[in-house]
Amino acid sequence: ASFLLYACFLGSFWRKSEMVKVLARASVVLMVLGTPSLAAAVRVALPAAAAAARCGRVRAPPACAGAGEDLSSLGLTPQLEKVVRGFKSVPDQKLRYQQLLFLAQKLAPMDASLAVDANKVPGCLSTVYVHGYLGDDDTINFVGESDSQLTKGIAALLINGLSGCTNEEIQAVDPSFIQAAGIAQSLTPGRNNGFLNMLKMMKGQAAKLAERDESSGGGGGAASDAMSEAAR
């Protein structure tokens, strides 16, 4: 409640459109950081802020639409579900586009030695690399890079959402979550196709890593060893 009052207070000084952008970004970031209760409070403020941007005054915020929507049929990982709910709460396609650019800025850099053909995603408008490797706890992690900030943002969404998961969890993810999150509408057909190719490649890498781990007797492996092997 105090956060909403503070947001309305700031709204009296800010341009209303800027307030919408800040609240939208805050909602996605808080979901990624694992603070869903605070993110939900921000999402409640978003419809009112969007209305204020249109008519010039702050209105009482309605209940957050879609906050409790069942996404279980999409097979999302816990982290990916947080991100999807965060994007669903953003009321404007341009703001979702901006959130992807923000995720791109926050993506950890990939070692240049991993930018090899084996890690290059086919069928993308931009050059994209994704690389999966086994962690010591039998989970799978990913790194990635792209020469396009928007494509890098899409890769970051997948990397953040799938890293730290098992092969079974990764294989269960339904690619249609991109529509559920409202992101597909912000992308061109070529970018949407690139997203599908990225997810397909990451699932393929996860399956190979799990098969290799099983054939070697399990127990995972040092991440640095796996990454070095892929770079050869």
- The contacts of residue 215 (CB under 8 Å, 6+ apart) are none
Please say if 8 is a catalytic residue: no
Supply 224's token pair: 């640095």
Radius of gyration of the chain (CA): 19
Please choose, from the candidates 25, 194, 177, 180, the residue with its C-alpha nearest in 3D space to the C-alpha of residue 101: 25
Who contacts 17 (Cβ-Cβ below 8 Å, separation ≥6)? 53
Catalytic residue among 8, 64, 124, 165: 124
Residues 154-192, buried b or exposed e (16+ Cβ, 10 A)?
A: bbbbbbbbbbbbebebbeebeeebbebbbbbebbeeebb
**Which positions are annotated as active-site residues?**
124
